[in-house]
């Protein structure tokens, strides 16, 4: 893994693009590129082959991404960000550490590096050495690798499991992979920036805006299908397609804050009235998405960077033309006279939308009323998190990537995990048993039933469902069984059963058949169908139970559950928590990095971000068209990071690192252009 990160550094100055006549020579640059391509392709194919639901489609995804990246190397700039918000199907696969987005990235890297290898040139005498940005990126990578090593060691060593959870060693890889994969894209990014340093970032920005449009569509479906499009009193917070929020967190918060400046870019750049109108609708709907998260941090993380963006645009315009802000605005809107009027109308509409959402329901008013109490709880939460650092090694190097949840749950009194699920394989003579052991909270009865093992099911009837399963317990245990209309965190209508099981004298399996009772279930409208979720949990503090052969059937006898005998591990089974998410997130980006990466890792990341922002605002990249928007986006992450974790959401962290590297490459390509001989 360290080698993979350093390979990106090896291409710092040796690959400048596609050069006719330069085939795959036998030199270090070409060899490294072929090696990285082979490693990425192998990893992508292996991940696709073991996909729990659709290996064939996953293999097709790897091959298609590889071919596209090799054939049209610039296409990934648009393809990756547009796929980022939706290419994850964890509730259907049961994967937590791995995801379909990883498969896309690995396939893209394989094709991209193959194209680089074909065109790579050997190192020439007098080649300049790596610049400051390269060394800073290398330092951040090194701190990440150190955090990965410490995290795996802290978890007791690496044990591979396709269905590893947040307490396992592979959770360290889950946190690290965003940085590693984004760093591997640096040579591909550099090639495109040197080909066209204006259009390459613009293509990436267009992909970001397109991805946000898909998030908006998902939000509209979610709101229509569940709480209602204009119901702002229901205690329902939008999550869109960010399934990482099955244990809470701020995935959608950070994503919206990071992408909002690019909507302004699209509105500012377009000159076509029809396209501008479409983008204006997107801005309104994106604001609706942000508002319906009912996250106070999102509001601040969108408004503050957009205010900064206006100032940065003024600075850039003044640096380019010596105009005042008003003169720059007139210059931008002088050709089409409709732009200024349309912009004013859009601004008024957005203000009215904010007022309508905040005043049209009681949910946000309740959240604002509890702000002081929430802040007090959050400060205590931060103190508990920092208290996990016990000695000099922890302070300097951190507990290890991905180790915050396990340590927090184990060491902070009363803030344990609300449950767990572990797949077991037991050899009994010639027979092999496979089952799952479900755990309730260790000591806190208030957390009973919060943790559930869930599965997506297709429900066609309003009622008449029953559950059959085998259970083995050593002490009296209580179960909750639910079949609900649920997108991810909030139930709309449910049918349930509560079961009390006592151990038998022989301690053997007991067969149970339980009918589910409750509200009638509805599939919703054909154009906004509702998702259904079956769940099971142990609700006793200190309780545990072995379960096997789970079958959910309709009154017609139709089997709805998949892999109920757990012969495929936890495939199709997805853990989820409701209303309690404390151990999984520290709710502060900076403290999160401090605890897991230590002072050195935190400083390395902050210096790299600060270096990028300096170049975007005052340095070599400040006059590039996207500089103000990239700066606003990076600042948005820092702002939302004041009250939210970010690095524990791989897709969002990947986008952050990718935009960071785009910023650095923008400065680099500008310097390269300025030093190029005429």
Q: What is the pLDDT of residue 27?
A: 65
**Coil vs helix vs strand at 513:** strand
Out of 3.40.50.1100, 3.40.50.300, 3.40.50.720, 2.60.120.260, the CATH code matching 420-579 is 2.60.120.260
Q: What is the CA radius of gyration of the chain?
A: 26
Which two three-digit tokens encode residue 437?
């052991």
Interacting residues of 403 by C-beta distance below 8 A, sequence separation 6+: 150, 151, 154, 155, 171, 172, 596
Provide the sign of the torsion angle of the four alpha carbons 273, 279, 282, 287, taken in this order: negative
Q: Would you place residue 619 in the very low, low, confident or very high pLDDT band (cuts 50, 70, 90)?
A: confident
pLDDT given at position 322: 63
The pLDDT tens digits for 128-167 are: 555 788 999 999 999 999 999 999 999 999 999 999 999 9
Q: What's the pLDDT score for residue 30?
A: 81
Residue 459 has pLDDT above 60, yes or no: yes
Quick one: pLDDT at residue 326?
47
**How far from 535 is each of 32, 92, 133, CA to CA, in Å?**
48, 13, 48
Between 24 and 582, whose confidence is greater? Answer: 582
Buried-state track 120-142, b at ≥16 Cβ within 10 A, e below 16: beeeeeeeeeeeebbebbbbbbb
Q: Which tokens hold the place of 584?
A: 């999984």
pLDDT of 156-199, one tens digit each? Answer: 999 999 999 999 999 999 999 999 999 999 999 999 988 887 89
Instruction: Encode pLDDT of 298-348 as tens digits.
Output: 999 999 999 999 999 988 888 776 654 445 445 544 445 788 889 999 999
The dihedral through the CA atoms of 648, 650, 651, 655 has a sign that is positive
Taking CA atoms, 331 is separated from 32, 202, 320, 326, 334, in Å, by 49, 21, 12, 9, 5
- For the chain, the structural domain boundaries read 215-373, 420-579
pLDDT grade for 119, boundaries at 50, 70 and 90 = confident
Buried b (16+ CB within 10 A) or exposed e, 324-336: eeeebbeebeeee
Tell me the C-alpha to C-alpha distance, in Å, between residue 208 and each of 262, 263, 494: 7, 9, 37
Specify the pLDDT at position 1: 40
Between CA 51 and CA 55 the distance in angstroms is 5
Which three-class secondary structure state does DSSP give residue 30?
helix
Chain-centroid distance, C-alpha 104: 14
Beta bridge partners of 436: 423, 547
Q: How confident is the model at residue 484 (pLDDT cuts 50, 70, 90)?
A: very high
What is the pLDDT, as a whole number, of residue 323? 53
């Amino acid at each position: 893994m360290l080698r993979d990160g350093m390979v990106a550094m090896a291409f710092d100055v040796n690959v400048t693009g596609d050069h006719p006549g330069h085939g795959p020579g036998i030199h270090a640059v070409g060899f490294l590129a072929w090696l990285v391509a082979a490693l990425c392709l192998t990893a992508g194919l292996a991940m696709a082959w073991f996909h729990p639901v659709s290996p064939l489609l996953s293999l097709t995804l790897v091959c298609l991404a590889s071919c596209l990246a090799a054939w049209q190397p610039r296409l990934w700039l648009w393809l990756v960000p547009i796929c980022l918000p939706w290419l994850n199907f964890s509730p259907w696969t049961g994967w937590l550490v791995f995801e379909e987005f990883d498969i896309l990235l690995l396939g893209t890297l394989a094709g991209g590096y193959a194209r680089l290898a074909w065109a790579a040139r050997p190192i020439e005498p007098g080649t300049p050495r790596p610049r400051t940005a390269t060394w800073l990126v290398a330092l951040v990578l090194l701190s990440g690798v150190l955090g990965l090593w410490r995290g795996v060691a802290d978890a007791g060593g690496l044990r591979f499991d396709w269905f590893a959870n947040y307490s396992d060693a592979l959770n360290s890889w889950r946190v690290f992979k965003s940085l590693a994969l984004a760093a591997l894209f640096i040579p591909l990014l550099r090639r495109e920036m040197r080909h066209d340093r204006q259009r390459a970032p613009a293509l990436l920005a267009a992909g970001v805006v397109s991805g946000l449009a898909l998030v908006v569509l998902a939000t509209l479906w979610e709101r229509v299908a569940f709480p209602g499009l204009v119901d702002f009193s229901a205690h329902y917070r939008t999550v869109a397609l960010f399934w990482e929020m099955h244990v809470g967190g701020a995935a959608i918060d950070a994503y919206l804050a990071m992408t909002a400046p690019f909507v302004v870019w699209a509105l500012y750049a377009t000159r076509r009235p029809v396209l501008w109108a479409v983008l204006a609708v997107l801005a309104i709907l994106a604001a609706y998405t942000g508002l319906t998260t009912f996250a106070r941090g999102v509001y601040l993380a969108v408004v503050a960077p957009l205010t900064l963006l206006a100032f940065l645009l003024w600075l850039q315009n003044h640096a380019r033309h010596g105009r005042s802000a008003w003169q720059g605005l007139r210059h931008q809107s002088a050709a089409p006279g409709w732009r200024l009027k349309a912009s004013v109308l859009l601004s008024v509409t957005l203000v009215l939308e904010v007022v309508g959402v905040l005043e049209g329901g009681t949910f946000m008013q309740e959240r604002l009323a509890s702000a002081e109490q929430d802040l007090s709880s959050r400060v205590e939460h931060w103190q508990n998190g920092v208290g996990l650092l016990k000695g000099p090694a922890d302070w300097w190097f951190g507990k290890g990537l991905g180790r915050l949840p396990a340590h927090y749950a184990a060491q902070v009194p009363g803030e344990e995990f609300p449950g767990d699920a572990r797949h077991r394989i037991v050899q009994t003579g010639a027979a092999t048993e496979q089952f799952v052991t479900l755990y309730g909270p260790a000591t806190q009865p208030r957390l009973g039933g919060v943790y559930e093992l869930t599965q997506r099911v297709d429900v066609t009837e309003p009622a008449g469902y029953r559950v059959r399963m085998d259970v083995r317990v050593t002490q009296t245990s209580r179960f909750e069984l639910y079949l609900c209309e649920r997108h991810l965190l909030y139930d709309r209508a449910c049918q349930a059963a509560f079961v009390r099981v006592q151990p038998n004298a022989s301690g053997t399996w007991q067969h149970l058949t339980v009918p589910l009772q409750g509200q009638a279930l509805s599939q919703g409208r054909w154009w906004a169908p509702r998702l259904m979720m079956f769940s099971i949990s142990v609700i006793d503090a200190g309780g545990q139970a072995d379960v096997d052969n789970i079958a959910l059937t309709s009154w017609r006898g139709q089997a709805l559950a998949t892999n109920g005998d757990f012969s495929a591990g936890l495939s199709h089974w997805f853990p989820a928590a409701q209303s309690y998410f404390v151990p999984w997130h520290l709710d502060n980006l900076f403290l999160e990095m401090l605890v897991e990466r230590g002072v050195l890792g935190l400083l390395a990341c902050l210096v790299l971000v600060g270096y990028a922002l300096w170049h975007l605002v005052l340095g070599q990249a400040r006059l590039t068209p996207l500089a103000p928007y990239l700066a606003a986006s990076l600042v948005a992450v820092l702002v939302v990071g004041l009250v939210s974790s970010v690095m524990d959401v791989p897709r969002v962290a990947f986008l952050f690192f990718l935009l960071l590297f785009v910023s650095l490459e923008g400065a680099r390509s500008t310097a390269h252009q300025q030093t190029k001989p005429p």
